[in-house]
Amino acid sequence: MALNRKIAYINLSTGEIETAPIPLEMRKLYLGGRGMDMYLLYNHTKQGIDPLGPDNVLLVSAGVLGATLASASARTHVAAKSPLTGFVGSTNMGGFFAPELRWAGFDHLVIKSKAKKPVYLWINDGEIEIRDASHIWGQGVFDTQESIRQELGDEEVKVMCCGPAGENLVRFANVMTGLKNAGGRSGMGAVMGSKNLKAIAVRGTMDIEIKHPEQALEYDEQMIAKVNRTKFAQIMQKWGTMFIYGVTNSTGLVRCQNFQLNQLVGGDIECEYIEDVSFGTEGCFGCVIHCRHKYIIKEGPYAGVYNQGPEYTSQGAFGMEVGCNNFNTVLVGNHLVNTYGMDTLETGSMIAWAMELYEKGILTDKDTDGLKLEWGNDEAVIEMVHRIAERKGLGDILAEGPLRAAEKIGQDSLKYNIQVKGMSNLHSDERPTPALALGIATGSRGSDHLRSRPAIDLYHLPEPVLRKIYGNPTPYDGPLTSEYTDYEGKPRQVQWQEMVYEAVDCLGICKYHTVFLSPNLLSFDEFSKLLYYNTGLEMTPPEIWEVADRAYTVERLFNIREGLTREHDWLVDRYFDEPTPVGLPVARGKKLDREKFKKMIDEYYELHDWDENGVPRPETLEKLGLDKEPSHKL
């Protein structure tokens, strides 16, 4: 059945491999995916370990709905202590790896210690083998996957790997599968590199029994129709996430020239430019949206190179943030970070920060080895991508991430870096949007848009609609407002979105199929039915909320154990001191109010049943069954 997959404990140093069933009790507590990973991370690491040392644990997981009839049930979750922030390391990616892992008999891999030489894991129908990877160490992401498939003689093998950035311990290196499925944010590729683990290859032919196949198929058809009816899905099917740029940039909700502007004038990186290089779209396992473009670069040194995407995040990283208005730069930058296995958001943000430091004279030509780090210098941006991945010159410093790099550069450089908890913000400017600002300030893995972003706050939805969304499945009778510049009611929106995203990551389905950029997509009621029809597990919407709450609280406990305080749930001074200079009237001249923001955090903590310092209360832990953690049940 869909619940009979196993967990594997793999020691890379000794070669020992143990497998065990996953108790139903643990399924009901954490479901799978991110939820189970957070439990395992808290239980299998000790306080204060070096994230790049052998005591860190790497967790690779499929969601409990992975490879079932549930739409878009493709997501892979990867976790460890983050080498970038020192807090929760957690990332999620699409593609085909997680379904293949489930067909091979496993839902969770707990990878410990460090191999003496480069290795990869070969997982095939219930069997796990540690193989030599010395011959593929140094290869890029695409070549690594192809080399392993050729070695195993099977083109259907799915591979998750780190690229050269992970091998070089760039603290924001990705894990990757396929051409563009990136487990970005928080540096999980660097953890792979630190363990001498180049890749995990998977092939499975073991059936997954759907508990109620006829009802599951019928209900998924309804869900697909529900998704396809939304304007959001129709736009995504044509442009992918790049369509977001047109709205956010024209309004003035983006970071441009690091944090100096909130709008990129022009329009040469609009989504329509993909038509010149695209020859179709693709999707992940079980997904009808097909949001990724297949493209070939047509200009410059990389002409003729094939890749997929780019996402809105690459438009920001290699367009808005660095002041480049050249779509080809976005395409090349996207290709390079995918090849090196490096987080596009962190890469673009670190380069943009360095450009502002260069402009202010904090960095000079001596620091850059003569490279002119000037706004809009396309060649310099591309060169810095190489230097960061290869840890050359200034790139070696930027590869350390915001806090460590600022410490090395000195001269008050940190004040110019737009980061939370040591993770750079994405290319958005939240000064006009208190809800989105609260989301990035309190995100469990650092500044983030995939942990708690209530994006529908931008839609001016009527209050009755908001109340219907944010009052389900747990009651809420506090304030709500249709104005995204207001502060009232935003903590509930952030908390609610946290629970949706946690639940989605436990189930293993895509966030784009849920309430994120559309209010008309799946939520807790649908999660409950999908879970029952596919796995037979009966859980009400409030019970799924409780699973999400429990897992999110474990993340908080982990971070507190590693030194997190209330001061970490805050934004850099520029959000409060510098008003937005341009944009539409609704976004122009905006900055956050410190006192109102502090009150939002107080309310946010109270909604979580945490104390005024953001620490879960004893009665909260008891209610969630966490008062005896770590319990080492798995």
- Inform me whether the pLDDT recorded for 267 exceeds 90: no
What would the pLDDT profile of 11-33 be if each residue is shown by its tens digit? Answer: 999 999 999 999 999 999 999 99
* Tokens of residue 396, six digits: 């070696």
Q: Look at strands 306-308 and 76-81 and give their pairing.
A: unpaired
Q: How high is the pLDDT of residue 2?
A: 84
Q: How high is the pLDDT of residue 384?
A: 98
pLDDT, averaged across the chain:
97
The full length of the chain comes to 634
CATH 1.10.569.10 fits 242-420, yes or no: yes
Q: Which CATH number fits domain 434-623: 1.10.490.10, 3.90.79.10, 3.40.50.10780, 1.10.599.10?
A: 1.10.599.10
C-beta contacts of 355-358 below 8 A and 24+ residues apart: 355/257, 355/258, 355/322, 355/323, 356/257, 356/258, 356/259, 356/260, 356/416, 357/409, 357/413, 357/416
In Å, what is the CA distance from 366 to each residue of 198, 397, 398, 463, 629?
Answer: 35, 14, 16, 56, 52
Gap between the Cα atoms of 95 and 286, Å rounded: 10
Map out the domains of the chain as residue ranges. 6-203, 242-420, 434-623
Q: Under CATH, which architecture does the 6-203 domain have?
A: 4-Layer Sandwich (3.60)
**Residues 6 or more apart whose Cβ sits within 8 Å of residue 117:** 132, 134, 196
Taking only Cα atoms into account, the Rg of the chain, rounded to an integer number of angstroms, comes to 23
What would the pLDDT profile of 549-603 be if each residue is shown by its tens digit? Answer: 999 999 999 999 999 999 999 999 999 999 999 999 999 999 999 999 999 999 9
What would the pLDDT profile of 196-252 be if each residue is shown by its tens digit? Answer: 999 999 999 999 999 999 999 999 999 999 999 999 999 999 999 999 999 999 999
- Inform me whether the pLDDT recorded for 317 exceeds 90: yes
- Inform me whether the pLDDT recorded for 1 exceeds 90: no
Share of the chain above pLDDT 70, in %: 100
Q: What are φ and ψ of residue 330, in 5° steps?
A: -60, -45
Eight-class DSSP state of 285: T
